[in-house]
Amino acid sequence: MFRNIFNTFANCFKIPELKSRILFTVGILAVVRLISWIGIPGLNHTALAMYFDQSQGGGGLMGIYNRFAGGGYERCSIGALGIMPYISATIILQLMTAVIPRLSKLAREEGGRAQIIKLGRYLTVLLCIGQGFWFALGWENPQKQFGSTFQSQLVLIENPYWYFFQTILIMTTGTMLLVWLGEQITERGIGNGVSLVITIGIVASFPAAGQGFKDMYFPAGGNAQHHLQGDFILLLGLLILVIGGIIAVTQAQRKIPVQYASRMVGQKMYQGGTNFMPLRVNYSGVMPVIFASSILMVPQWIFPLLVTQIKTGPLHDMFITLSGWFATGNVGYLASYALMILFFSYFWVATQFNEIQIADDLKKNGGYIPGVRPGQGTSDYLHRAMSRITLAGAIFLVIIAVIPIILARKLNIDYNVAQFFGGTSMLITVGVLLDTMRQVESHLMMRHYDGFLKKGRLRGRF
């Protein structure tokens, strides 16, 4: 198997077009990594990075954001915002398109998609300005952002107005540059550029996480820490199991048979036949995990704040209880996290999967599901089928999402290591790499080269 994979990679460089696309993609991703290292002028770039290393603060909101930005936040770099404002703008527009008829109509019109993309870029700039101001404010008052233990001064510019203007402008420009680079990869490289920009930031932390994983069981001094070295094999097996499960569920589909009748269009006769409509088990992807973790950050921030504001009384005791309930790793947090992932899995399917439109399109094209009435009957059938497989996908997401939290909080494993046993990092990385491999394999198959697998093929667009 490994020999076949090696030969496949060698074949990639025998095709001039594919070779140029791969080299172009690698070059652009190198520029993306460089952007995450170039610091913003007037900021103490090393102080925050040292704080992140010492506190291992990878589990909080800013730790998660820093990971998606490829470490740009902790280095106060021009790419500190990463490409997340663009992702947020895209998600907002997708949700608005599903509920606002005017946007829904625009998306179906010729040239309407280009208009929506333009709106997404405008919204990205607005989000960059807002998030950039928040980041700049946090860097100006690091004690409020990171706690009283943070003693260093990050801002070295005396004029506060110039500091905010310069910092917000540079971070906004950095994000828009990353968006442009991602679009160049999509157009001239291989894979989805925006997704690869996020993935390369996550993958950049692999060596440090691998070293931390090794040091837990085989430290440099030769004396094992509180972990048993025998657990090393169990955790390694868990990692392989998680990756295999993500690959299986990401590619899992339920194929709905569709029969097409013969029909006359103009003076041309189209023959009927049987086809399949694939319904993805994990239709919502990583979005429910992102939504749930983002929302749960709110009570984690607001209840401790209320505890400090209300010194005594029953409200003080209640907010202390709620702060403990929503603390990461507690039973209340895990229960709320699981329920939110289940809810947002169905919410995303409800807003993005339009079974009524699919049923109408099948009816217009002379297609029907055997044993199911066209029109409303087909719509109800698709709704029931999608609801059942969404439940299976949502339960899988819950399991994958809570594994890093349990490992970090209950087994005292460094969160920078635990994050790669599940959660958003692993879901995004595996999904993007599978999509990129599908595109590479499609180029190989078109030129009669073997793909990555001798038997079967990666499920995708071909």
Encode the chain in three state secondary structure.
CHHHHHHHHHHHCCCHHHHHHHHHHHHHHHHHHHHCCCECCCECHHHHHHHHHHHCCCCCHHHHHHHHCCCCCCCCECCCCCCHHHHHHHHHHHHHHHHCHHHHHHHHCCCHHHHHHHHHHHHHHHHHHHHHHHHHHHHHCHHHHHCCCCCCCCECCCCHHHHHHHHHHHHHHHHHHHHHHHHHHHHHCCCCHHHHHHHHHHHCCHHHHHHHHHHHHCCCCCCCCCCCCHHHHHHHHHHHHHHHHHHHHHHCEEEEEEEECCEEECCEEECCEEEEEEEECCCCCCHHHHHHHHHHHHHHHHHHHHHHHCCCCHHHHHHHHHHHHCCCCCHHHHHHHHHHHHHHHHHHHHHHCCHHHHHHHHHHCCEECCCCCCCHHHHHHHHHHHHHHHHHHHHHHHHHHHHHHHHHHCCCCCHHHHHHHCHHHHHHHHHHHHHHHHHHHHHHHHCCCCCCCCCCCCCCCC
| Same-domain check for residues 197 and 104 | yes
What's the confidence (pLDDT) of residue 290? 78
What's the confidence (pLDDT) of residue 17? 85
| Same-domain check for residues 296 and 172 | no
- Domain assignment present for residue 439? The answer is no
Task: Choose the final residue of a domain: 172, 204, 236.
Answer: 204
Task: Choose the final residue of a domain: 386, 402, 421.
Answer: 421
- Domain assignment present for residue 444? The answer is no
- Domain assignment present for residue 454? The answer is no
What's the confidence (pLDDT) of residue 160? 87
Query: How many domains are contained in the chain?
Result: 2
- Domain assignment present for residue 183? The answer is yes
| Same-domain check for residues 241 and 311 | yes
The residue whose two tokens read 């990869």 is: 185
What's the confidence (pLDDT) of residue 52? 74
| Same-domain check for residues 166 and 270 | no
- Domain assignment present for residue 461? The answer is no
Q: Measure the CA–CA gap between 327 and 323, rounded to whole angstroms.
A: 6
| Same-domain check for residues 302 and 168 | no
Q: Per residue of the chain (462 residues), give pLDDT as tens.
A: 556 667 777 777 778 888 888 899 999 999 999 998 988 888 888 877 777 776 655 555 666 777 778 888 888 889 888 888 888 888 888 778 877 888 878 877 777 778 888 888 999 999 999 989 988 888 888 777 666 666 678 888 888 889 899 999 999 999 999 999 999 998 998 888 888 888 888 888 887 777 777 777 666 655 555 555 667 778 788 888 888 888 888 888 888 888 877 665 556 666 667 788 888 888 888 888 877 877 777 777 777 777 777 777 777 778 788 777 877 777 888 888 899 899 989 988 888 888 888 888 888 877 888 888 888 888 899 999 999 999 999 999 999 888 888 887 777 777 777 777 777 788 888 888 888 888 888 877 776 665 555 544 555 433
| Same-domain check for residues 99 and 14 | yes
**163: how many CB neighbours lie within 10 A of its CB?**
20
| Same-domain check for residues 198 and 249 | no
What's the confidence (pLDDT) of residue 125? 93
Domain span holding position 196: 1-204
Task: Choose the final residue of a domain: 204, 239, 274.
Answer: 204
What's the confidence (pLDDT) of residue 112? 78
| Same-domain check for residues 112 and 244 | no
| Same-domain check for residues 314 and 392 | yes
| Same-domain check for residues 10 and 137 | yes
**30: how many CB neighbours lie within 10 A of its CB?**
10
| Same-domain check for residues 120 and 55 | yes
Q: What number of residues does the chain have?
A: 462
- Domain assignment present for residue 411? The answer is yes
| Same-domain check for residues 284 and 323 | yes
Cβ 432 vs Cβ 199: under 8 Å: yes
pTM score, two decimals? 0.79
- Domain assignment present for residue 215? The answer is no
CATH number for the domain spanning 236: value is 1.10.3370.10
What's the confidence (pLDDT) of residue 456? 47
- Domain assignment present for residue 162? The answer is yes
What's the confidence (pLDDT) of residue 462? 36
